[in-house]
Structure 1
Amino acid sequence: MQTREETDMNLPFTFLAPRPSLGTRPSLGTLALALLLCSLGLAAKDPRHGPLKDLNGFFPFNPPATAEEWEERSEELKLRLLVANGLYPMPEKTPLNPVIHGKVERPGFTVEKVYFESVPGLYVTGLLFRPENPKKGKLPAVLCPHGHGGRLHDLGKAGVRRQIVIGAERFEESGRMPKIARCGTLARLGCVTFLYDMMGYADNRQISYQLAHRFSKQRPGFEGSDSWGLYSAQAELRLQSIFGIQTWNSLRALDFLASLPDVDAGRIGVTGGSGGGTQTILLGALDPRPIASFPNGMVSSSMQGGCTCENASLLRIGTGNVELAALFAPKPIGMTAADDWTREMLVPGKGFPEIKKLYQMLGKPENALCPDLTHFKHNFNYVSRAVMYSWFNRHMKLGHEEPIVEEDFKLLSPEEHAVWNETHPEPEGGEKLERKLTKWLADRDDSLLVNLPPGEKKIVFRKAWETIIGRKYDEKADFSHKKNRLVHLPSGEETFLEAVEPTEEGDQPILWLGYESSEIKRLSKGKNLHYRAITFREEKEGFTSTVANKREFAGYTHGFNHSRFARQVHDLLSVVSYLKKKHGKAPVLRASAAMREQAMTAAYLSGGAVSGLKVAKSDFRFASLTDYRDPKFLPGAVKYGDVAWLKQALGKKLAVE
């Protein structure tokens, strides 16, 4: 279950951390220009100068008007999810090498212990529930990610009695462990059900609970381009995260379940609560196999998940859990509203009415459900589970008479829960495993990307860079340019753009980046039209701003907001589009060392809209960064080729001065 400690850390303001030693100080001319920008009202009007968005923001879903528009939007979102999870393009799946052992029996179902390798050396553990006397033929199946508290979460005798009094649970025995009760009942209903451990819970301890769910302070000893740990700048630059690994584990858990000889792979449902609801949303968006979904307690237009395991860089920029859950459409999706961050789900503009509108537009309004259970706090209790049983009974064609009522059973003992024992010893974990894992993931991804056919590689890398930057070049965008203020009208974003030496119309536009006007006048030659641009917070010193959450995790900031580097590239894409439209010629870009990589990225994404690029010599590589607050930090930049790829893609268009 989510805790208020996890969800209330963010405050509605941002801060600018103390200045590190990052490059040269801005000149007096640049500082004077910053004052000019303020006098022009630039900072006040550009929406990017407001507070950074955090996980406690507002994340509305505005459903499109047509199925065609939704198809286009859904493809964009699925690409973002794949990139953010470190899964684009989808890696090759290694052998699971599953082991099933230690069967125990309860009235109506059996329980077995499971472990398998999601990647070589990294194990997923859990419990497999099966009907005691199954019908002939293959059976429907349900995958159950458990959420916070883990499968060993026990309400205790006093706790379950309190739940019984308010009508949230029914039985003093099985009601103590709601996740086990859910899976036992699903098995009684005829479903092969797999309850697998999230990282850091129960028997999945190779990555500790503290690291997976309570990380708060950066570890300098885990930075380095040869060996690094999770949460480091190196990991973020390669899109390696607890969230991404957990998503991969979930996909492999689905592979395991579908591979069982008694499972009908065409009748699989997924349901989880709280953090398990987050994983249910992701599985519904990324894998076509589930036919019914019930993500409880996390479909919300407010709090998006407070734990480090529910966030990743790039994940929710421009979107949120409601829209991500809607990616399951038009297949059946159910959920409940409770007295938590989902309490307003039934309010127009706050979530479920918009999901219902989408399903109505797609011709399947009956496939979306959200009962009002706001008299209960955050839960996946007896009442919510009953809604889920009925939903799966209907849409997975289980064939049971309604209502479906849970039955009590004796809880499993600690020995019956334990996956690891003397016969099945627990694998190694800790820091050694963590470093080994990040290196293995990097090598896997490098090999995959390097060996793509040339034509496919160009497509994959362009889509990836457009996603991590968060914008495509738009030659049709509209602009306003007055008093040296260029406004990108679709977004309201503003860039300082001045004509330094205007000559007759039609001359070659030259865009100077990172230079003072006096330098441009000294260096400029020929009858060209010279412009000077100042991009987003280019004049700022020191670290970039982060959200107020005190836990030092890039995903809390970069999961909801574009990096400063990306926003500077947005400005350059706007300026290039404006100049090309205004003068009818593709501009040439000239960049100082400070703006070299931004200019290279913009030129790459602009394609033929930039005719040439001259940059100052520099040895910078994204892989050299050691802090996610560095102004040039860009999640995913190392994974997708670093500066070397930009050079290769630009080819002869790029010249070094």
Structure 2
Amino acid sequence: EFAGLFAPKPQGMNTANDWTKEMSTKGFPDLQKLYTTFGKKDNVLLVRGEHFPHNYNAVTRSAFYTFVNKHFKLGFPSPVIEKDYEPLTRDQLTVWDDKHPAPKAGDPEFERKLLKWFTEDAEKQLAAADPKVLREGIEVTIGRTYDKAGEVEWELKDKQDRGDHLEMTGTLTNKTHGEELNVDWLYPKKWNGRVVIWLDDAGKSGIQNDDVKKLIAGGSAVLGVDLLFQGGEPAKQNRIVANPREFAGYTYGYNNALFAQRTHDVLTLVSFLRNTKVGSHPSPKTVCVAAFGAQTGPIAVAALALAGEQVDLAALSTHGFRFGKVLDYRDPMFLPGGAKYRDLPGMLSLYDQKKRWVAGENEDRKPPAIDWLMK
């Protein structure tokens, strides 16, 4: 797919006895069809070399010299054969001297200093940047915006009368992204038009508590949800691809982290409440978020950074969480790039301070969270 984006410009590739050896039958024929569609079939080249181990040898180099010579009209005789040359000495090649000594190979202290410099340089730029820059960076990190949250449908599975409220269980289906959420509605018979999305580390079972009862008694509906991999055995680590080589990029270069996927789920909930009409039922006047778990608190912060004005009030606890302190890429809270944009405080800064009650960040927390949400 990435190679196809370059069409119809000239493009060459080669195979060897490695993971590229099936390219002649898987991938390259599709590229040929794409280039043919543009009328440029000769602009794409595959140099087959499965009889060689993984390399970029003289045979392959010659083929690419010839390919470049043709398309750039360099005028060299074809085929272009590499000439012998005298390699430069180590002293001639080096960029290091007494004033600029070479770092030690595999020096962890040098790596720390370099990364520290990268971080401090980026933080200076972010501190002076418009919030729009911060939001766009976080949108890329999470992999979805509120505007692209998707079209959501509600399916009722069960409905029970609980005295002062109705309990309705069902499924929210995000038709755009092919995702499903099991939800539990607690809907007071004297509804005041307010809905509180209750995010809990235990999933939708977490709505069975005294705080939720207080919200219902005050007229607020409460929506509990099982985010991805909630509702059963807690996810102790992120899924990783089946590759024996320990490298985070094999997983996160192609897949969203669990933290990002759960943030997508929250965006689905907000989008549903704001945009989906269910029969003759009136739409909510006020949408709130409550999240006090060690995992769901930070997830709520990420969602609020993206949903912005769509959420009227939010009460949550971050537990002082920082992406920069997550040391294992299998950790359920790991997020590639999570610390890049001023970490969790950067996300939190994008949601109006007047609309949030936050524990864990040295912010004013009076009155108690539930009373504050009911104001």
Q: Is the TM-score greater than 0.5?
A: yes
Q: What do the CA deviations read for 1:292-330 (whole angstroms, capped 9, x no partner)?
A: xxxxxxxxxxxxxxxxxxxxxxxxxxxxxxx1x344444
Matched-pair identity in %: 34
In the TM superposition, 1:402-417 aligns within 5 A as 402-407=78-83, 409=84, 412=87
Give the aligned residue type for 1:596.
Answer: G
Displacement, 1:646? Answer: 2.4
Match of 1:485 in 2: 171
Displacement, 1:598? Answer: 0.8
Match of 2:364 in 1: none
Displacement, 1:645? Answer: 1.9
Give the aligned residue type for 2:102.
Answer: P
Q: 2:324 aligns with which of 620, 623, 627?
A: 623
Match of 2:19 in 1: 341
Rounded to whole Å, the distance in 2 between the matches of 1:410 and 1:394 is 23
1:499 and 2:185 equivalent?
yes
Give the aligned residue type for 1:336.
Answer: N
Q: What do the CA deviations read for 1:184-227 (whole angstroms, capped 9, x no partner)?
A: xxxxxxxxxxxxxxxxxxxxxxxxxxxxxxxxxxxxxxxxxxxx
- Mapped contact 2:304–2:351 kept (Cα < 8 A): yes
Displacement, 1:567? Answer: 1.3
Match of 1:531 in 2: 223
1:390 and 2:66 equivalent?
yes
Q: What do the CA deviations read for 1:202-260 (whole angstroms, capped 9, x no partner)?
A: xxxxxxxxxxxxxxxxxxxxxxxxxxxxxxxxxxxxxxxxxxxxxxxxxxxxxxxxxxx
Rounded to whole Å, the distance in 1 between the matches of 2:289 and 2:122 is 32
Secondary structure of the 1:632 match is coil
Do the aligned partners of residues 556 and 649 (structure 1) sit closer, same or farther apart at CA in structure 2, a change above 3 Å counting? same
Do the aligned partners of residues 510 and 368 (structure 1) sit closer, same or farther apart at CA in structure 2, a change above 3 Å counting? same
Match of 1:18 in 2: none
1:464 and 2:137 equivalent?
yes
Secondary structure of the 1:629 match is coil
Rounded to whole Å, the distance in 2 between the matches of 1:552 and 1:410 is 39
Q: 1:332 aligns with which of 6, 10, 17?
A: 10
Q: What do the CA deviations read for 1:157-203 (whole angstroms, capped 9, x no partner)?
A: xxxxxxxxxxxxxxxxxxxxxxxxxxxxxxxxxxxxxxxxxxxxxxx
Q: What do the CA deviations read for 1:11-42 (whole angstroms, capped 9, x no partner)?
A: xxxxxxxxxxxxxxxxxxxxxxxxxxxxxxxx
Q: 1:588 aligns with which of 280, 288, 297?
A: 288
- Mapped contact 2:149–2:267 kept (Cα < 8 A): no
Match of 2:366 in 1: none
Q: What do the CA deviations read for 1:437-465 (whole angstroms, capped 9, x no partner)?
A: 0111111111122122x2xx41x222211
Rounded to whole Å, the distance in 2 between the matches of 1:363 and 1:655 is 60
Instruction: Name the Cα RMSD after superposition.
Output: 3.1
1:355 and 2:56 equivalent?
no
Match of 1:445 in 2: 122
Rounded to whole Å, the distance in 2 between the matches of 1:552 and 1:575 is 35
- Mapped contact 2:152–2:271 kept (Cα < 8 A): no
Rounded to whole Å, the distance in 1 between the matches of 2:237 and 2:273 is 31
- Mapped contact 1:480–1:488 kept (Cα < 8 A): no
Give the aligned residue type for 1:495.
Answer: L
Rounded to whole Å, the distance in 2 between the matches of 1:342 and 1:552 is 20
Give the aligned residue type for 1:654.
Answer: R
- Mapped contact 2:138–2:341 kept (Cα < 8 A): yes
In the TM superposition, 1:83-162 aligns within 5 A as none
Match of 2:207 in 1: 516
Aligned residues: 328
Rounded to whole Å, the distance in 1 between the matches of 2:235 and 2:58 is 54
1:609 and 2:310 equivalent?
yes
Q: Give TM-score scaled by structure 1 length.
A: 0.45
Rounded to whole Å, the distance in 1 between the matches of 2:252 and 2:61 is 35
Q: Give TM-score scaled by structure 2 length.
A: 0.75
- Mapped contact 2:263–2:300 kept (Cα < 8 A): yes
Displacement, 1:619? Answer: 2.6
Give the aligned residue type for 1:446.
Answer: E
Displacement, 1:572? Answer: 0.9
Do the aligned partners of residues 565 and 475 (structure 1) sit closer, same or farther apart at CA in structure 2, a change above 3 Å counting? closer
Displacement, 1:433? Answer: 1.5
Displacement, 1:406? Answer: 3.3
Give the aligned residue type for 2:118.
Answer: L
Give the aligned residue type for 2:357.
Answer: A
Q: What do the CA deviations read for 1:246-301 (whole angstroms, capped 9, x no partner)?
A: xxxxxxxxxxxxxxxxxxxxxxxxxxxxxxxxxxxxxxxxxxxxxxxxxxxxxxxx
Secondary structure of the 1:530 match is strand
Match of 1:567 in 2: 261
Give the aligned residue type for 1:516.
Answer: I
Displacement, 1:423? Answer: 7.9
Displacement, 1:614? Answer: 1.6
Do the aligned partners of residues 478 and 411 (structure 1) sit closer, same or farther apart at CA in structure 2, a change above 3 Å counting? same
- Mapped contact 2:18–2:53 kept (Cα < 8 A): yes
Secondary structure of the 1:403 match is coil
Q: Of the two structures, which has the highest relative contact order with CA contacts closer than 8 Å and spacing of 6 or more?
A: 1
- Mapped contact 2:192–2:219 kept (Cα < 8 A): no
1:644 and 2:345 equivalent?
yes
Displacement, 1:389? Answer: 1.2
Match of 1:576 in 2: 270
Give the aligned residue type for 1:576.
Answer: V
Displacement, 1:392? Answer: 0.9
Match of 2:356 in 1: 654
Rounded to whole Å, the distance in 2 between the matches of 1:623 and 1:410 is 48
